[in-house]
Structure 1
Amino acid sequence: MEAKQHREEKGESAKAVRLCQSKDSDASGIWKWVREEAERVAGEEPELRPLLQNVVLSQPCLGASLGVRLARKLAREDMTKEELTPLLTGILRGEDHLVDSAARDLRAIVERDPACPSPLEPLLFFKGFMAISTYRVSHHLWNHGRRELALYFQSLASEVFAVDIHPAARIGCGILLDHATSFVVGETAIIEDNVSILHEVTLGGTGKESGDRHPIIRSGVLLGAGAKILGRVEIGEGAKVGAGSVVLNDVAPHSTVAGVPAVVVGVSKEDAPALEMDQRLGCRGR
């Protein structure tokens, strides 16, 4: 038991050091960390060596690596891996802001998820990260007038990752999409930076009206599993929405809401609940 605890503490300490080292140069620091982990795993797990070689060790940068990984995951008869790879790597390597956003997402996952020891794991295995990365490509295409191709990538992400994000939605970076299954985001939704979202969350409309009809999620918000936020409501900065809640009205900054329909049950104990990932509601008087 003591040996196990020592290994866990050593692992957490090493993770903290690497996060500190990678902070100033996000994309390059994260990429260096990914490569070092890939070299280690390739030596320990021969069965994974071909995957690691193709996705990480033979690639010159994070953008190229992410493009190759997405191509492997999204390839279908409609568009093969050989067709997707140059398309995706070309977009990602040509747009620094997309790679910077991906690096900040990777960093957010490592910081907030105790089950994630390094950025290599989400790059290879976490469908939440891959779904958000696919959205970033589709959003870029949408904004450059390539709407049909953007919708094609939305459809692929829905099929492969069970995550449906409209390419016109506006999502910041430093996003943790944990587990991800059944996450739905409507066309006019806005999610600011540093938000944490659990599975089965819906940011939807309430009918067939046009215009701005989907939620606004401000920075630092934590959305619990299964939360449904409907209509053009605003979840204020640093708020917390309890699991399974249905939110139909604005939520004030730093409030905690829960229930069906959701009501205020307390005040967030943290300035940014998204960073702490504490799912407890923190009700008044407790």
Structure 2
Amino acid sequence: MRLERLSLNEEQDGGGVESDTDSVQFPFEKVFPVYAMVGFSRPGSGSDLSVLNSGRDPIWEAVREEAKLEAEKEPILSSFLYASILTHDCLEKALGFVLANRLQNPTLLATQLLDIFYDVIMNDKDIQRSVRLDLQAFKDRDPACLSYSSPLLHLKGYHSLQSYRVAHALWKKGRTVLALALQSRISEVFGIDIHPAARIGDGVLLDHGTGVVIGETAVIGNRVSLMHGVTLGGTGKEIGDRHPKVGEGALIGACVTILGNINIGEGAMIAACSLVLKEVPPHSMIAGTPAKVIGYVDEQDPSLTMNHDAGKDFFKHVAVTFRKGRPSVASGKETKEVSS
């Protein structure tokens, strides 16, 4: 497997979501913690491609080293760790094994699912890239994620996202019935419902993931972070292109509902429990029901920092009160009643 340097701001086909590449790509700017773990030095910013051309996969090596250490510390898990990680020779096969065993049922056997996952993942370089970028996103942004092996083995947000990627590949090949069957199992097992036709970029974090719903024509750009309970839905009365489009680097808080074919600008930050019905400007902070702009984000990508107040005491700018049975939003000194 050959790794190439990837700029996370690189334009890709399909609105920055999908691309066709000749090799697996890797965000070396974000991956250097892995190199320290497995004895590599951080690649230089120039044309030093010695690590890239060595055929090494530092993410996979880190996962294996972690599994070996955990098997020594917790012998009761040694069989689980061996079957899930140590018996495999690459990240793709380990992931396929884990997903097949999580999603199996009496009529959709693990062996059948394993064949499907292997066939798709091992022959799709875009998915191979996404698997690693997503894994790095979980390790970088989720403070509860202390290792690279943890999302692979345990985190349903990661599992549902990678299962979706397989279903999406099947959908694009015209195998829609199988893709929808996978969607149903993903929703049933993980409590996360992602339509296989939705388009999701690389380096995405579904933190916890419980209750996330992503509609058929939704688009999510690269480096987006979504908390639990997020809905990217339609208004219920439209057909065709009817779901939100989330720009790169956006941070969407817990239980946010975004409805309709509207754009969420790059680097935007949406407060928990907001109801978003209108376009969101890039790098803006919005909150409320319905949501309104209450400030702007200094960081290029709030999704990477996971700093929900953006250094601006975010939630101090938002006070929800009730007057005459209707909510209002206080921003700074001025209080404006929110229309129902």
**Hey, what does 1:268 align to over in structure 2?**
297
Q: Aligned-pair distance for 1:188? A: 0.3
Amino acid corresponding to residue 30 of structure 1 in structure 2: I
Q: Of residues 85, 97, 122 in structure 2, which corresponds to 1:93?
A: 122
- Hey, what's the Cα distance between the residues in 1 that align with 2:252 and 2:302? 9
**Hey, what does 1:169 align to over in structure 2?**
198
Q: Aligned-pair distance for 1:27? A: 8.7
For residues 140-162 of structure 1, the C-alpha deviation after alignment (integer angstroms, 9 at most, x for no partner) is 00000100000000000000000
Q: Aligned-pair distance for 1:126? A: 0.3
**Hey, what does 1:67 align to over in structure 2?**
96
Q: Structure 1 residues 217 and 27, CA, compared in 2 at 3 Å: closer, same or farther?
A: farther
- How high is the sequence identity, in percent, across the aligned residues? 45
- Hey, what's the Cα distance between the residues in 1 that align with 2:34 and 2:176? 40
Matched, 1:138 2:157: no
**Alignment gaps of 5+ in structure 1:** 1-12
Q: Structure 1 residues 27 and 111, CA, compared in 2 at 3 Å: closer, same or farther?
A: farther
**Hey, what does 2:47 align to over in structure 1?**
none
For residues 4-28 of structure 1, the C-alpha deviation after alignment (integer angstroms, 9 at most, x for no partner) is xxxxxxxxx9779349868875992
Matched, 1:32 2:51: no
**Hey, what does 1:8 align to over in structure 2?**
none
Give TM-score, length-normalised by structure 2: 0.76
Q: Of residues 239, 260, 263 in structure 1, which corresponds to 2:268?
A: 239
User: How many pairs does the alignment contain?
Assistant: 274
- Hey, what's the Cα distance between the residues in 2 that align with 1:134 and 1:66? 10
Q: Aligned-pair distance for 1:208? A: 2.8
- Hey, what's the Cα distance between the residues in 1 that align with 2:240 and 2:217? 8
- Hey, what's the Cα distance between the residues in 1 that align with 2:35 and 2:226? 23
Q: CA RMSD in A?
A: 2.2
Q: Of residues 28, 48, 62 in structure 1, which corresponds to 2:77?
A: 48
Q: Looking at secondary structure, tell me which structure has more helix per residue.
A: 1
**Range that drifts further, 255-264 or 80-89:** 80-89
**Alignment gaps of 5+ in structure 2:** 1-31, 44-50, 318-330, 334-340
**Hey, what does 1:250 align to over in structure 2?**
279
**Hey, what does 2:109 align to over in structure 1?**
80
Matched, 1:17 2:36: yes
- Hey, what's the Cα distance between the residues in 1 that align with 2:155 and 2:255? 19
Q: Aligned-pair distance for 1:100? A: 1.1
For residues 43-69 of structure 1, the C-alpha deviation after alignment (integer angstroms, 9 at most, x for no partner) is 111111111111110111111110000
- SS of the equivalent of 1:94 reads coil
Q: Aligned-pair distance for 1:73? A: 0.2
- Hey, what's the Cα distance between the residues in 1 that align with 2:41 and 2:83? 26
Q: Aligned-pair distance for 1:90? A: 2.2
For residues 234-278 of structure 1, the C-alpha deviation after alignment (integer angstroms, 9 at most, x for no partner) is 110000000000000000000000000000011113110000101
- 4+ residue stretches of structure 1 with deviation over 3 A? 13-27, 282-286
Q: Aligned-pair distance for 1:80? A: 1.2
- Hey, what's the Cα distance between the residues in 1 that align with 2:73 and 2:98? 21
**Hey, what does 1:186 align to over in structure 2?**
215
Matches within 5 A, 1:207-218: 207-218=236-247
- Hey, what's the Cα distance between the residues in 2 that align with 1:199 and 1:18? 30
The answer on whether the counterparts of 1:240 and 1:257 sit within 8 Å (CA) in structure 2 is yes
**Range that drifts further, 249-258 or 204-213:** 204-213
Q: Of residues 113, 117, 124 in structure 1, which corresponds to 2:146?
A: 117
Amino acid corresponding to residue 65 of structure 1 in structure 2: A
**Hey, what does 2:26 align to over in structure 1?**
none
Amino acid corresponding to residue 152 of structure 1 in structure 2: A
- Hey, what's the Cα distance between the residues in 2 that align with 1:170 and 1:44? 40
- SS of the equivalent of 2:112 reads helix
- SS of the equivalent of 2:295 reads strand
Q: Looking at secondary structure, tell me which structure has more strand per residue.
A: 2
- Hey, what's the Cα distance between the residues in 2 that align with 1:15 and 1:115? 17
